[in-house]
């Protein structure tokens, strides 16, 4: 080596590796043009406008059938509890017979205006209206029959004795029996069915009140923890999500769900008969598609998604029960404000696919498992957190809960109730950081609605 020259050797350990570029940086640097967000929102707005204000060309097939089931059991139940104290009827969610008949007539009137009513529905309307006005039911029925076949009273009596008849058939038979006595045990059977429905309503709905009563013990600590949730400042990947990012991902996922749902409905309508298990599977796919799309757009590893969203955090049972009690209390003034305004659909939100034991399985998997998981990941895990980063916890909770309510397509009380529920879920998430707790709360809440509903309306009358 010649003098005056120095060679510098840089030694690099063999174990050293060049770290790959963090993929989450590129996700956070994505640009979401305002015209794109406006276009997606416009498409979703058209869909919402059509559902809320669009011209209705009749109801879906099967609406009248499920509406008649609901009306029949509501009328039987209100008659069976007519002599009970008002507080007991209130606890069971049962109106006085005159109010129940009024609601039934309104539902049947909606079917008639949409030209979605059959002769069976017209006959039910005539008998219920006659009962409401204290007029002879058979005379009212003969007026709407317009020379049609006379009712087969012996067939009615046979159906009623087997528990397969309806409230309005029983009323016709009672009037017929007063004019010309008929033998049979249908009257005894009618009394048994009424008492059976009464016990079902009292048992199932008092269990919900009992659960709310247990939750009262956790209410003070729940309120304090939720108040603290408004001030909690967290750090990490999710806290760098922008409102534009959250809205865009939410809109893309929701529109994908709408498109898939439309295709699914077309496929079902084109299929003569679909196995029950396939229907359950397709429904689950439709419900889980939006959150899967959303998670895939902002995460690269499932384990990271579970951690960031808070799915791996401990379940807080106390806050879950406390929030359930709080929403139960808040629900009472909402009912007073909106009165007895029900769902826009004559069936009152019931679905024929939930009838029987197969329907119970479908209901539990769809409404009480798949829906809570999907909606909490999308609305609270992504939309609320993104909006909260920009607007703050309170405003982010309100905006996300309003969107949540609007996409459930309800009227009056339903919109307000779902909106308050969504706000409670958002604040519960902020207070606990546990999406598992929020999902389990959503499951419990849906179960306390759907299970009593199934027991009263969808289970068979033994």
The phi-psi region of residue 184 (left if phi > 0; otherwise alpha if psi is between -120 and 50; otherwise beta) is: left
Band of pLDDT at residue 5, cut at 50, 70 and 90: low
What are phi and psi for residue 169, nearest 5 degrees?
Answer: -65, -40
Rounded-to-integer distance, Cα 350 and Cα 58, Å:
17
Q: Which of 111-120, 126-135, 256-265, 426-435 has the lowest average pLDDT? A: 256-265
Band of pLDDT at residue 10, cut at 50, 70 and 90: very low
Average pLDDT, the chain: 86
The pLDDT of residue 179 is: 75
Buried b (16+ CB within 10 A) or exposed e, 73-111: bbbbbbbbbeeeeeeebebbebbebeebbebbbebbebb
Rounded-to-integer distance, Cα 27 and Cα 29, Å:
5
Domain residue spans in the chain? Answer: 31-44+200-458, 63-194
Rounded-to-integer distance, Cα 191 and Cα 334, Å:
34
Q: Which two tokens stand for residue 24?
A: 């989450």
Band of pLDDT at residue 206, cut at 50, 70 and 90: very high
The pLDDT of residue 19 is: 47
Write out the DSSP string of 289-340: HHHHHHHHHH-S-HHHHHHHHTTTSPP-HHHHHHHHHHHHHHHHHHHHHHTT
The pLDDT of residue 1 is: 47
Is the predicted pLDDT of residue 162 greater than 90, yes or no? no
Band of pLDDT at residue 339, cut at 50, 70 and 90: low
- Mean pLDDT over residues 117-139, rounded? 87
Rounded-to-integer distance, Cα 308 and Cα 207, Å:
36
Rounded-to-integer distance, Cα 379 and Cα 431, Å:
16
Rounded-to-integer distance, Cα 241 and Cα 7, Å:
50
Is the predicted pLDDT of residue 31 greater than 70, yes or no? yes
Q: Which residues contact 55 (CB under 8 A, 6 or more apart)?
A: none
**Cα separations in angstroms, 404 against 256, 378, 382, 408, 444:** 16, 10, 13, 7, 18
Q: Which residues contact 323 (CB under 8 A, 6 or more apart)?
A: 215, 222, 226, 424, 428, 441
Rounded-to-integer distance, Cα 136 and Cα 233, Å:
69
Look up residue 352 and give its DSSP letter.
Answer: G
Q: Which of 70-74, 115-119, 124-128, 184-188 has the lowest average pLDDT? A: 184-188
The greatest distance separating any two alpha carbons of the chain, rounded to the nearest whole angstrom, comes to 134
- Top-confidence residue, 185 or 342: 185
Is the predicted pLDDT of residue 147 greater than 70, yes or no? no
Q: Which two tokens stand for residue 163?
A: 């528990």
- Mean pLDDT over residues 191-217, rounded? 93
Sign of the torsion formed by the C-alpha atoms of 208, 211, 215 and 216: positive
Nearest to 211 by CA among 350, 104, 326: 326
Which pLDDT tens digit goes with each residue over 282-304?
A: 778 888 888 999 999 999 888 99
Q: How many CB atoms lie within 10 A of CB 55?
A: 5
């Amino acid at each position: 080596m010649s003098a005056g020259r120095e060679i510098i050797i840089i030694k690099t350990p063999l174990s050293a590796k060049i770290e790959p570029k963090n993929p989450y940086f590129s996700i956070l640097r994505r640009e979401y043009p305002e015209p794109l967000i406006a276009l997606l929102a416009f498409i979703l707005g058209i869909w919402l406008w059509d559902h809320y204000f669009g011209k209705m060309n009749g109801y879906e097939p099967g609406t009248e059938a499920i509406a008649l089931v609901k009306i029949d059991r509501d009328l039987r139940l209100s008659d069976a509890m007519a002599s009970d104290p008002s507080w007991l009827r209130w606890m069971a969610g049962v109106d006085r017979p005159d109010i129940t008949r009024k609601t039934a007539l309104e539902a049947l009137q909606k079917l008639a205006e949409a030209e979605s009513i059959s002769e069976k529905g017209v006959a039910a309307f005539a008998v219920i209206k006659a009962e409401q006005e204290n007029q002879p039911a058979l005379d009212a029925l003969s007026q709407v029959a317009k020379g049609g076949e006379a009712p087969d009273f012996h067939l009615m009596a046979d159906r009623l004795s087997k528990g397969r008849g309806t409230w309005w058939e029983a009323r016709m038979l009672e009037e017929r029996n007063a004019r010309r006595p008929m033998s049979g045990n249908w009257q005894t059977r009618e009394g048994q069915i009424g008492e059976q429905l009464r016990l079902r309503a009292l048992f199932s709905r008092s269990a919900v009140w009992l659960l709310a009563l247990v939750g009262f013990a956790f209410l003070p600590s729940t309120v304090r923890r939720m108040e603290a949730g408004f001030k909690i400042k967290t750090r990490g990947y999710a806290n760098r999500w922008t409102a534009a990012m959250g809205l865009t991902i939410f809109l893309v996922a929701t529109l994908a769900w709408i498109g898939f749902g439309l295709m699914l409905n077309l496929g079902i309508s084109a299929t003569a008969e679909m196995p029950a298990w396939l229907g359950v599977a397709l429904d689950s796919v439709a419900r889980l598609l939006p959150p899967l799309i959303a998670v895939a757009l902002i995460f690269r590893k499932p384990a990271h998604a579970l951690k960031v969203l808070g799915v791996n955090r401990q379940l807080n049972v106390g806050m879950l029960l406390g929030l359930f009690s709080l929403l139960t209390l808040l629900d009472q003034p909402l009912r007073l404000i909106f009165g007895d305004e029900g769902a826009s659909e004559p069936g009152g939100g019931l679905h024929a696919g939930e009838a029987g034991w197969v329907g119970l399985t479908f209901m539990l998997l769809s409404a009480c498992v798949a829906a809570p998981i999907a909606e909490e990941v999308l609305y609270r895990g992504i939309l609320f957190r993104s909006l909260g980063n920009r607007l703050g916890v309170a405003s982010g909770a309100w905006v996300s809960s309003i969107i949540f309510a609007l996409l459930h397509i309800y009227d009056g009380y339903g919109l307000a109730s779902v909106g308050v529920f969504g706000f409670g879920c958002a604040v519960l998430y902020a207070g606990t950081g546990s999406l598992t707790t929020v999902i389990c709360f959503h499951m419990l809440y849906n179960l306390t609605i759907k299970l009593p509903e199934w027991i009263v309306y969808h289970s068979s009358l033994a």
